[in-house]
Structure 1
């Protein structure tokens, strides 16, 4: 499994982790949401859960649950600032389509589950 953090996302992750010393790393996955079906979830990982796959990049651990894994494998996470707005940006090779607002996506059914 491969999840990559672009330099801006890596720096943002390090700042998050520095402000929460009890965090193990980042938790990255998906949840059912939006008009296209799946939305990305990024949070601090405070525990390792059964079935988690863990990758590490430059000292930042990324925890991905078993359900999310096939839908996010190969994703590059970036971090962008647009005016006053800041957000993580996802380049997911498994996304077959995204909704117009960019909040949710669908995958090829064979890759999804």
Structure 2
């Protein structure tokens, strides 16, 4: 099911020419690379959802449903650099991870997931 995410032809890139259609799967890979030093990337698989009208928009637009349900390591997050909306998105994502994966776990593993998905401090400055 997940093996074809890089095979395309669909992609989100300047060179992409294939229309995105509901049901297509691709990877969302934001990252940061410091030349000659290191790089980090958080990669999630997403499913293109049916086009819907967006409030204030002129046309219906597709959305994305995140398929990968694993916590994002909060040690990588500098909350003071995130907006309130970005912090809210991360907390909502973690709440979904816990809600969907938590019932399959118990004991130490569940305790780890609860800690890994706990809300971040909201000290956003922007």
Shorter-chain TM-score: which interval? under 0.3
Q: Give 1 or 2 for the bigger CA radius of gyration.
A: 2
Higher normalized strand content (fraction of residues)? 1
TM value normalised by structure 2? 0.25
Higher normalized helix content (fraction of residues)? 2
